[in-house]
Amino acid sequence: MERDRLLPFDPLFRNPHLATVAGHYWSRPVSEQRWPVSPVVYRTAPDVQVLVHAQKPLGEARGAIVLIHGLEGSSGSGYARSLSHRALEQGYATHRFNMRGCGGTEYLSTSGYHGGQTGDVLAVLRELRAQSNAPLYLVGFSLGGNVALKLAGELHNEGGRLLAGVCAVSTPIDLAACVRTLEQPRNFFYQRSFLGRLKERIQRRHLQAPETYTLEHLPKIHTITDFDEYYTSKLFGFGTAANYFRTQSSNQFLERIRVPTLLLQSQDDPLIPFSVYDLPIFKTNPSLTLVAASHGGHLGFLSRQRPRFWVDETILGWIEGN
């Protein structure tokens, strides 16, 4: 679908913080009774399993969509549930992926997740492809968008054999720049929320593997950079937070993407400076379509008119048009 044919966005809220918070708490449609959920556990590495919540439409599926949540989200995140509902209505099977340890799945693996961890998603995609030749799409939200774009770039010319398309919504394609923005005083509320959940995760992990997840550094952590410096970078071998941000940001993989890819981004996103999207690659790589709404906040995008969830309609419209 060409960019000028995409559904225009008339925001319900023009304040980016209000749009972000409202989008997080807005009631989402319930799909479980109409399309029963099947919890599927995939072994993605010798010592790693991940949980995916799968739903199938009535009749033969037109294709399948794998959804990746954001930082400290899960398959139960509102944006994943509403897109799944809309996709099922349109005849697509959906697979809501939980990153390692998310959605109450710490028992499946002692290893955690990070913003560039593509191996688990790739393993799930390959298994789904082995089961069916129907079109397979990958959709990532926020940090999950970074994973989706990075994976598409890593696949390079092989991507088309696996995926029919990729979508990324409110994506921090430059992790360092986005973390700096998150740590600004105006974003204190968001950072405090993320840090609280990340620290709680370390405390839960400590009960599983106390030698790996030590608690000595928790009092030193006041920012996301602190957390990634003391935990993420050490647990995954990046050495430092700066090296983690540098190596795992998806912006450096965009030029290698060869499958149709849609990026939805608001220019007023409080957590992602729109300047990170000021890249020549969006003009030189024909596989990429960047749709930049003036408003929408971070994962907000509530429309003034119905249908309320603009992202869901836009993604499904784009899939239908490809």
What whole-number distance in Å separates Cα of residue 272 and Cα of residue 295? 13
**pTM for the full predicted model:** 0.96
The DSSP secondary structure of 169-201, one letter per residue, reads ES--SSHHHHHHHHTSGGGHHHHHHHHHHHHHH
Q: Cite the residue boundaries of each domain of the chain with CATH code 3.40.50.1820.
A: 3-174+251-321
The predicted-structure confidence for 43-86, as pLDDT tens digits, reads as follows 999 999 999 999 999 999 999 999 999 999 999 999 999 999 99
Query: What is the predicted pLDDT for the residue at 244?
Result: 98
Do the Cβ atoms of 115 and 147 come closer than 8 Å?
yes
Asked if pLDDT for residue 222 goes beyond 70, the answer is: yes
Asked if pLDDT for residue 231 goes beyond 90, the answer is: yes
The predicted-structure confidence for 166-195, as pLDDT tens digits, reads as follows 999 999 999 999 999 999 999 999 999 999
Terminal C-alpha separation, the chain: 5
CATH architecture of 3-174+251-321: 3-Layer(aba) Sandwich (3.40)
Task: Determine the average pLDDT of the residues in 109-131.
Answer: 97
The predicted-structure confidence for 252-310, as pLDDT tens digits, reads as follows 999 999 999 999 999 999 999 999 999 999 999 999 999 999 999 999 999 999 999 99
Beta bridge partners of 94: 55, 65
SS (H, E, C) 74-141: CCCCHHHHHHHHHHHHCCEEEEEECCCCCCCCHHHCCCCCCCCCCHHHHHHHHHHHHHCCCCEEEEEE
Instruction: Give the whole-number percent of the chain exceeding pLDDT 70.
Output: 98
Query: What is the predicted pLDDT for the residue at 8?
Result: 87
Query: What is the predicted pLDDT for the residue at 7?
Result: 73
